Chains A and B, each alone.
Chain A
């Protein structure tokens, strides 16, 4: 499994568009964590059956409203806290890139 982080503007259908682009390329989304963070949509996706890593990033970045797409090469830990009274408020609390820095 490879892990990709996609950050985009919080626009209608963004997550759906990302999934469609991946499935179109025969890439299976095994796990997904999605949440809003500082007005942006953050998606952390575990992907299988990845034919071309470089091209996948280009394809994701080409989707309108996607701001960035990058592979997460080190351990990623996400906490998803759903608070129904606050609507869809989620918190992705912890994630590290290969340098050990918080990536968001």
Chain B
């Protein structure tokens, strides 16, 4: 059968049910064969968004997301989306068309070296120069994407490979990948260190989400009576209503997590890579020890303070640790102190005061959205307010671009989530800057019947950059004011969506309720206080003791 048909059949064989993409000259054979395929195709309006949608789908389900673009500009457009998935270890299969193999290297029309372009932002990639290589690329590529530390795989597919013949006997081949390296030999040492800990703290990253180690983290925390902090990527691991869940750690983390981090004597870090945004200068106390569990041998033991390094799947490693620890130790002075700190950790903001505080939006969403709802964010202040204040209740509920920090991620990711879970409410928390990078996808949302709600924190600024200029550049605002923003509601309506503008705190709840009930994509444009900053904040490159506190209770407290 011809290559393009083989590609679609192979995807179906591998359990793929949807592909996000937009056609072009070099992918015409694929789109022709799509007409006879069972795959659902979601037609996007920009290739970057195809990758973000596939990424959102993957993060929501744990299954690989598939996206497709044409060659040249289609492929370069897709690079940002693929890079976003790569940095956050999300499994994608990115397919790009390519000019005919004889034309490669001749600067043919819409030729781009996507094989090389994608290489630094993928786990692996293939350029198919012979159609018979296609089955291995698809089957083995998908296995690589979902093995060990997950990540994107790219297939560059020239036109003549799509139209050339893939021998039928090659369609059923089994292609294997090497098992990911594992080293749990230090388990007894890890158990010994954890048993002797007086002030244990668990720091959870995205690796626990991908491993599905939600229950294991809770069981371990309850056994050790250890509080849990989460990085941005690990935010969906445990319900933040759990008494041991302290919340977000890092640059804009909660004050109680910062203090717990500085006071703990053993830090059990699971599925996290000690990024500069989560642990900054890594200034644990002098005597603190780290037990680090990570599936990536290049990340495990990254901190110089690592006492025990375990390489392996978080779920498997945690189960072994739990078995070794035995019965729960019950309440300890540390757990009691943490419970008090958790209860005390709150913001001192009058959210009914106009102008609308962004925090009020998250407060209302905490009350309004059901447990099975999914929340995505854009990047910037909106993301940090959501990460700091939104209370996650179920696994994978919170989806955000962490490592790459891609503005414009949240809306297309929300559409990918909605494709995966059409019956769940999906909310994108956006800023007026970020939504304008991807707002054309309202066309996709309407035409594909994906009724998500986009809530814009509209403060008329590129807020996070403005905040840094305010705090660290003596209020020398440069290039950050978004003058002449469009009327977002009219814009949404132009695409066939609905929307409402909110200017007073008293109007907010009803607007959000309307959006959650809407049968069509819905935009809530909330005019927010431009002077509100995301605080607390540990400045970049500084230690946790250099925190800038916001309007929180700690300032005048006994602590």
Contact = CB atoms under 8 A, between A and B. Distances in A.
A binds B: yes
Contacts of A12: 126-127, 129
Contacts of B167: none
Nearest to A55: B298
30 contacts: A12-B126, A12-B127, A12-B129, A13-B115, A13-B119, A13-B125, A13-B127, A16-B116, A16-B119, A17-B119, A17-B124, A20-B119, A20-B120, A24-B120, A55-B298, A55-B302, A58-B297, A58-B298, A61-B181, A61-B297, A62-B148, A62-B149, A62-B296, A62-B297, A62-B298, A63-B124, A64-B123, A64-B124, A64-B144, A64-B177
Contacts of A76: none
B126 A59 contact: no
A27 to B, nearest CB: 13
Q: Which 6 A-B pairs have the closest CB atoms?
A: A58-B298, A58-B297, A64-B124, A59-B298, A20-B120, A64-B144
Nearest to A12: B127
Contacts of A61: 181, 297
A24 B124 CA distance: 15
Interface in B273-310: 296-298, 302
Given A12-B129, A13-B119, A58-B296, 7 more contacts: A12-B126, A12-B127, A13-B115, A24-B120, A58-B297, A58-B298, A64-B124
Question: How big is chain A's contact interface, by range?
Answer: 10 to 19
Interface in B137-166: 144, 148-149
A59 B125 CA distance: 17
Contacts of A55: 298, 302
A39 to B, nearest CB: 17
Contacts of A13: 115, 119, 125, 127
Contacts of B296: 58, 62
Interface in A13-52: 13, 16-17, 20, 24
Nearest to B137: A12
Nearest to B144: A64
Nearest to B127: A12
Contacts of A20: 119-120
Nearest to B141: A64
Contacts of A16: 116, 119
A13 B123 CA distance: 12
A20 B120 CA distance: 6
Interface string B105-143: 000000000011001100111110100000000000000
A48 B9 CA distance: 47
Nearest to A23: B120
Interface string B233-250: 000000000000000000
A71 to B, nearest CB: 16
Interface centre among B119, B148, B296, B298 (most CB of A within 10 A): B298
Contacts of B129: 12
A48 B125 CA distance: 27
Interface in B442-474: none
Interface centre among A16, A20, A55, A62 (most CB of B within 10 A): A62
Contacts of A59: 298
Contacts of B149: 62
Contacts of B126: 12
A9 to B, nearest CB: 10
A16 B125 CA distance: 11
Interface in A59-104: 59, 61-65
A12 B296 CA distance: 24
Contacts of A65: 124
B441 to A, nearest CB: 31
A29 B144 CA distance: 27
Contacts of B297: 58, 61-62
A17 B118 CA distance: 11
Interface centre among A17, A24, A62, A64 (most CB of B within 10 A): A64
